[in-house]
Amino acid sequence: MSPYGRSPSGGGGHRLLLHRSEPERVARLSGWVREGLALGEKVVYIEGGGFGDDVLAVLVTHGIEVDAAVAQGRLEVLAPEEFYRPGGQEALLDRVLAEGHTRLRISGEASTAYRVLSPAVHREVEDLVDRLCATRPVSALCQYTVGSLPGAALDSVVGMHPGGLTELSLDVGEADDGLVLRGAVDFTNVEVLRASMVAAMSAAGDAVVLRVDFADVEHLAASACRAIVRAWAPSRTPGPRLVLSQVQPVVARVMRLCGVDAAGIEIVERAR
């Protein structure tokens, strides 16, 4: 949940794409670009040098009519030196709106940002993008390689993207009173789930209840149950009551076998 409030016009907010391979990354990126173009938004990808042409070529292989979108001004590659300069983010949005577009989508890889920014300044830009996504007609998809985020770094990056995240098997979305999960959680992404819950609890503030919607979670490994308890335990006093809602019966059974309810976490099963 963003400290600046929810994005006023939808569009995805400030989201995180975690990937382990190039095919995985481009498949999800292509879907996000296709969605933006279908909604009539301007899509801007942040990349430098000849790599921008590579990005466009990849989008073509995923069925996106790149030439037409570029010619119509609906798709653009922008140099990182331009986007990451002081005031560059607001300047881009103002230009896009002046061109007659009603919304802007921006995306880029963290590795591209680190070529022109220090980690500290990059964090400041992430915070600014979060404010823009919450208050102006813009959404962002920030791309990070999972392998580049050991330990506490994953918690930090997930916490910088209150609009949620997507990865190979799990999608985490923002809700008014917590999180909405879709997909499956196993040993490959259990730490992503834990980091998402830690971030949500940190953002919950004085909320009485933090609700995590499990209606569309098809599989939950025992290690994920332990991660839920591990994420919640440090915040339980003081802190919101944790409610896992709309849990499918087979998933709820795993939760109870693993002692999630015994830790004081409420499990509410989905109606059969």
CATH number of the domain that residue 198 is part of: 3.30.750.24
Give the pLDDT score at 176: 81
Q: Which of 141, 166, 191 is the last residue of a domain?
A: 166
C-alpha distances in angstroms, 94 versus 72, 90, 91, 97? 18, 6, 5, 5
Whether residue 268 lies inside any domain: the answer is yes
CA nearest neighbour of 96 among 22, 169, 31, 40:
40
For residues 47 and 140, state if they share a domain. Answer: yes
**What gap in Å lies between CA 152 and CA 45, rounded to an integer?**
28
For residues 162 and 97, state if they share a domain. Answer: yes
User: Cα-flanking dihedrals φ and ψ of residue 129, to 5°?
Assistant: -60, -40
Terminal Cα distance for the chain, rounded: 30
Give the pLDDT score at 52: 84
Cα-Cα-Cα-Cα torsion 63, 67, 69, 74, nearest 10 degrees, comes to 130
Whether residue 161 lies inside any domain: the answer is yes
3-class DSSP assignment, residue 141: strand
Give the pLDDT score at 154: 93
Give the pLDDT score at 231: 87
**CATH classification of the domain holding 54:** 3.40.50.300
Whether residue 4 lies inside any domain: the answer is no
Domain count, the chain: 2
CA nearest neighbour of 80 among 46, 105, 54, 110:
46
For residues 216 and 162, state if they share a domain. Answer: no
Whether residue 5 lies inside any domain: the answer is no
For residues 114 and 238, state if they share a domain. Answer: no
Residues of the chain with pLDDT > 70: what percent?
A: 93
For residues 135 and 44, state if they share a domain. Answer: yes
Whether residue 72 lies inside any domain: the answer is yes
Give the pLDDT score at 114: 93
Give the pLDDT score at 50: 78
Give the pLDDT score at 24: 92
Per-residue pLDDT of 196-243, as tens digits, reads 999 998 888 778 899 999 999 999 999 999 999 988 876 556 667 899
CA nearest neighbour of 195 among 172, 169, 220:
172
For residues 128 and 174, state if they share a domain. Answer: no
For residues 19 and 138, state if they share a domain. Answer: yes
* Residue 2's pLDDT band (cuts 50, 70, 90): very low
Report, as an integer, the average pLDDT of 59-84. 96
For residues 135 and 267, state if they share a domain. Answer: no
**What gap in Å lies between CA 263 and CA 53, rounded to an integer?**
52
For residues 150 and 222, state if they share a domain. Answer: no
Give the pLDDT score at 237: 61
Residue range(s) defining the domain that contains residue 46: 10-166
Q: Which of 166, 192, 216 is the last residue of a domain?
A: 166
Give the pLDDT score at 12: 67
Give the pLDDT score at 1: 38
Q: Sheet holding 241-247: strands in order across?
A: 75-78, 42-46, 104-109, 138-145, 14-19, 164-166, 170-175, 178-185, 209-220, 241-247, 266-269
Give the pLDDT score at 238: 67
The whole-angstrom distance between residue 73's C-alpha and the CA centroid of its chain comes to 26
Please report the sign of the dihedral spanned by the C-alpha atoms of residue 174, residue 179, residue 182, residue 185: positive
**In the predicted structure, residue 7 carries a pLDDT above the cut 70:** no
Per-residue pLDDT of 149-158, as tens digits, reads 877 889 999 9
For residues 95 and 198, state if they share a domain. Answer: no
Q: Which of 166, 187, 216 is the last residue of a domain?
A: 166
Give the pLDDT score at 49: 77
Per-residue pLDDT of 9-52, as tens digits, reads 334 699 999 999 999 999 999 999 999 999 999 999 999 877 88
When mean pLDDT is compared across 75-84, 92-101, 122-131, 169-178, the lowest value belongs to: 169-178
For residues 173 and 268, state if they share a domain. Answer: yes
Whether residue 1 lies inside any domain: the answer is no
For residues 21 and 124, state if they share a domain. Answer: yes
Whether residue 2 lies inside any domain: the answer is no
What long-range pairs does 90-97 form, CB within 8 A, spacing at least 24?
Answer: 90/132, 92/44, 93/132, 93/136, 93/137, 93/138, 96/42, 96/44, 97/137
Whether residue 3 lies inside any domain: the answer is no
pTM score of the predicted model: 0.89
